[in-house]
Chain A
Amino acid sequence: MDITRRNFVKTTAIAMATAAAAGSVASMAGCAPKKNEPINGNSTTTTLAVCRFCGCGCGVIVESRNGKVVSVYGDPENDSNRGLNCVKGYYLSKILYADDRLTKPLIREDNSKKGTSDGFREATWNEALNLVAEKLRETWKKDKSRLAFWGSGQQPILEGYATAKFWKAGLRSNNIDPNARLCMASAVVGFMNVFQTDEPAGCYADIDHADVFITWGANMAEAHPMLYSRFMARKIADPNVKHFDVTTLGTRTAATADKVIKFGNNGDLAITNCIAHYLIENNTYNHQFVTDHLQFKQGTENIGNSNYDGYDKSEVGSKVDDVEPITFEQYAERLAPYTWEYTSHISGVPEQDLKELYELFANPDLKITSFWTMGVNQHNRGTWMNHNLHNIHLLSGHYCKPGDGGFSLTGQPSACGTAREVGTFSHRLPADLVVKNEAHRRFSEAVWNLPEGYLDEIKDPGFHTTKIFRELSNGNIDFLWSAHNNWAQSMSNLTRFLGRGAEDKRGIFDAFIVVSEVYPTISTKYANVVLPAAMWVEREGAFGNGERRTAVFEKAVDPPGDARWDMWMLMEIAKRVLIDEKIGDKDAFDLLFGQWYDKDAAEFKQDSQREVCKSMWEEYRTFSNPSLNERANAINIDKKLKMEGKQLAPYEEYIYNHGMTWPVREVNGKWLPTKWRFAYGPQEDGYDQQGIEMYGEQGLAGNVSFYKSTDRKPSVVFRPWEPPAEVPDSEYPFVFCTGRLLEHWHTGTMTRRVPALDKALPEALLDMNPNDAEKLGVKDGDKVKLTSRWGEVEIKVSTAGRTQPSEGYLFAPFFAEETLVNLVQQENYCPLSKEPDYKKTCVRVEKA
């Protein structure tokens, strides 16, 4: 760089950081480029983007020159992060350029080498697409229960939307599920059961208003760095702000908390019930809130555990969703056993600490924000625990005010946008609709221009994630397509699912597996065909983050080699599979995708990816803007679906506004986001004015109206304490938890290709309490063998690691392919959400 340019770049860097430090959006916006105005010299192109890594969903501006990304900076105008990125931002563009990027389609020639990276040959796109389509069509025609798609919260929204449309309306199969099943499903079922609408009511700005933060099973310091930084800023701005960390483990988050409440034995269920009990017992609940807003229920209990194949269809397994109404008094009676003493006994938490937590909720003047994530969701009672958190916030009226509410954090960049909102789940259709509801099917048929009744064939949910892999291992799946996930590392009980157990069936080796990816992973080793994909800003897309923010990223550079846009692959495969198929009297492919893709010319009809996305978005957003489609609109009104509850804006608005949180409302020709759902106030200030005026009621407690809930009343469902599936015993005395650490994103397929990140955290270590290490006679760096009822794995011990487990507890991250900790993870999921429990498999430890 010559000196003039160097000075220019440095001055820019300083100006941006100074503005970000000043912290006012206005001052930052002043120095931010207005869309597409390069700040880095005239020869650069500036494009809008969103970070590729975690669920915080930080906005990023990308600058490129001569087809290469040359700089990135935090987007000051994206309200999620206001110009800040965490240090992983250093690698946002570097991950595009690692040496082993997949740039050619690969076809496996030697099936005996499955499970290794050998046995592939490079192929042309035509060969690869023909082969994939032939296998998919063959399976589909023969027995469509034997095919499956496993998608991802890493996929952009419209790619997920088009895939769901192909699978549900094209193939009429519900065997499609996302990896979000592994991280967010319990939150989803919790929201749906309580509010009848998914995703949090609040937003990240709650952090700026709260008096108290409570983290429940959430290591935000490592897993949500940008939000954690905002959280610390709030604490520093007001020293009275307190943070309580409710956890099973000492973490970086616990290290900065004002109070750490460590529990075990599923004690979180008891703790929340204890708080609810004393709110009622001491008459400190919010009477008006309860009267105006809540209904009470109880559900099926003693639901056992799902750690065997027949659970879902078992006597109890088939009743887990059942609930019945109860009175407030009956609810109080159900809570009565959760005294300080009993709860302390169950959870191991001192009574005094329980009282301190309760006092927070009993104080109507405090603004309390609860954050929760994988510790709550990946739980054998994950859905119940989500219920219980909503319960205590609702009973105490700490809900739907800025800084005062329950917030379920999300893990992936687009778990919300792509998995939850688009409906790539086995039981869902777009926009919170579900396959088993007749009106929902009619509405979807209307938007997709399908004959009435066409979707009745998919009225029964398909295979959820664990079921897909169970059936794969049983030899009952012939075709699996997995896109942008890494199941061969992230699934639980890998011993079985990788066919490594002595008695396990080896369906994984017989099935035809297609993997869409950007780098080789352990999952590509099990592939028959690998489809090399464009990543991040090599194509246009949109993500939906944890605060309901939809944000577009623009295409900045071309993908390398023959890597292609997933949307193109999907169109090419769909047209081959649906060849000569009809829907009514129309060509099936043309009816579903003909607006965007010319199957004969083999190209998109629109001139640019922007135009393709814009046009497809218009169809997608019809789900939440039913007035755009007469037939859909009539069903929306007749069946009172209130589809506008998730209203989305026209595509360009997301670019112009650097992302917006739904529901987005049109006020005098301007599209405005909603930051606080169900809270009445001016739409301009981020309140849900239009939603409440349309469907809600004004003047109720807290100026809140839960207009999407049945009878406008969320359900407080009593959910008792029940034990973990496995409890420590003499054979398996340790409780083993897995999770993420700062440097590596999930299974490390991107971040481990970055030498510096790999150096910062080179291997997965087993964190152990020093007393346990002494008892076992092991020291730091020793290799041990972990054995569970499910499998075994070797790993090095650390007593000074990133987490500080209590005696009897162990932690290891799951990013390392060479240390596959999920070989020992129990195959057990929350019976309601089907989300696996990754947090408490019992193991024994032996010196290796």
Chain B
Amino acid sequence: MDEPVVISSLVVETVPAYTDAVAAELPGIEGVEVHGIDGHKIVVTIEAKTVDESHSIANGLQQLTGVLNVNLIYLNFEDDRTIYPDGV
């Protein structure tokens, strides 16, 4: 049985002087992967078990020094057992 996973992607907007520092810090956070940088924007995915966990990770990103804004782009939660105990 595969592990259930909620996958979301985000664009993290940073103060330009901090972009590299934030991009370096992000992979250290559980579930977070960096996929690219475009100017002051960092493309990120979050993988977690539930929407709630994903949201609290995303909220955590908002608190990092140099982060201006966290935009949610895509969210798949068909595997969130707190929403769909029996799957979809």
Contact = CB atoms under 8 A, between A and B. Distances in A.
Interface of A: 1-3, 6, 9-10, 12-14, 16-18, 20-23, 40, 65-66, 68, 70-74, 83-87, 89-91, 93-94, 97, 225-226, 228-229, 232-233, 236, 256, 754-757, 759-760
A757 B53 CA distance: 11
A65 B16 CA distance: 40
A750 to B, nearest CB: 14
B43 A18 contact: yes
29 contacts: A1-B5, A2-B2, A10-B45, A10-B47, A12-B74, A13-B7, A13-B74, A13-B76, A14-B43, A17-B10, A17-B11, A20-B11, A20-B73, A21-B38, A68-B84, A71-B76, A71-B77, A86-B70, A87-B59, A90-B51, A91-B51, A228-B69, A232-B69, A236-B13, A236-B68, A756-B52, A757-B55, A759-B56, A760-B59
B83 interface: yes
Contacts of A65: 78, 88
Given A755-B52, A759-B56, A89 B13 contact: no
A87 B70 contact: yes
A70 B72 contact: no
Interface residues of B, number: 46
A751 B2 CA distance: 31
A172 B5 CA distance: 55
Contacts of B36: 14, 18, 21
B72 A90 contact: yes
B35 A17 contact: yes
Contacts of B69: 225, 228-229, 232
Interface in B23-56: 35-36, 38-45, 47, 51-56
B77 A9 contact: no
A1 B77 CA distance: 10
- Most chain B CB neighbours (cut-off 10 Å) among A13, A84, A97: A13
B81 to A, nearest CB: 12
Given A40-B76, A90-B72, A6 B5 contact: yes
A754 B52 contact: yes
A732 to B, nearest CB: 36
Contacts of B73: 13, 16-17, 20, 73-74, 83-85
A89 B11 CA distance: 13
B75 A97 contact: no
B43 A73 contact: no
B59 to A, nearest CB: 6
Contacts of A16: 9, 73-74
Given A2-B2, A87-B70, A90-B55, A9 B16 contact: no
Contact of B7 (A10, A90, A757, A759): A10
Contacts of A6: 2, 5, 7
B71 A20 contact: yes
- Most chain A CB neighbours (cut-off 10 Å) among B4, B11, B73, B78: B73
B71 A3 contact: no
A22 B38 contact: yes
Given A10-B45, A21-B43, A87 B55 contact: yes
Given A10-B7, A21-B36, A22-B38, A84 B56 contact: no
Given A21-B43, A225-B69, 7 more contacts: A13-B8, A17-B35, A66-B88, A70-B77, A90-B75, A233-B13, A756-B53
Contacts of A74: 71-74
Pick the 10 closest A-B CB pairs, nearest first.
A13-B9, A17-B9, A70-B78, A756-B52, A73-B74, A71-B76, A89-B72, A21-B41, A21-B38, A84-B71
Contacts of B8: 13, 90
A225 B84 CA distance: 29
A12 B9 CA distance: 9
B17 to A, nearest CB: 11
A17 B83 contact: no
A23 B71 CA distance: 12
A22 B11 CA distance: 10
Contacts of B10: 17
A441 B69 CA distance: 48
A73 B71 CA distance: 11
B45 A236 contact: no
Nearest to A72: B75
B22 interface: no
Contacts of B74: 12-13, 16-17, 71-74
Nearest to A755: B52
A494 to B, nearest CB: 31
A72 B70 CA distance: 16
A1 B35 CA distance: 21
B44 A73 contact: no
B68 A256 contact: yes
A204 B37 CA distance: 25
Contacts of B71: 20, 74, 84-86, 226, 229
Nearest to B43: A17
Nearest to B59: A760
B9 to A, nearest CB: 4
A91 B55 contact: yes
Contact of A13 (B39, B45, B56): B45
A32 to B, nearest CB: 11
A87 B7 contact: no
A9 B11 contact: no
A689 B80 CA distance: 50
A68 B59 contact: no
Contacts of A91: 51, 55
Contacts of B76: 9, 13, 40, 70-71
A89 B55 CA distance: 9
A283 to B, nearest CB: 40
A756 B72 contact: no
Nearest to A758: B52
B88 A70 contact: yes
Nearest to A17: B9
A487 B34 CA distance: 44
A756 B49 CA distance: 13
Contacts of A10: 7, 45, 47
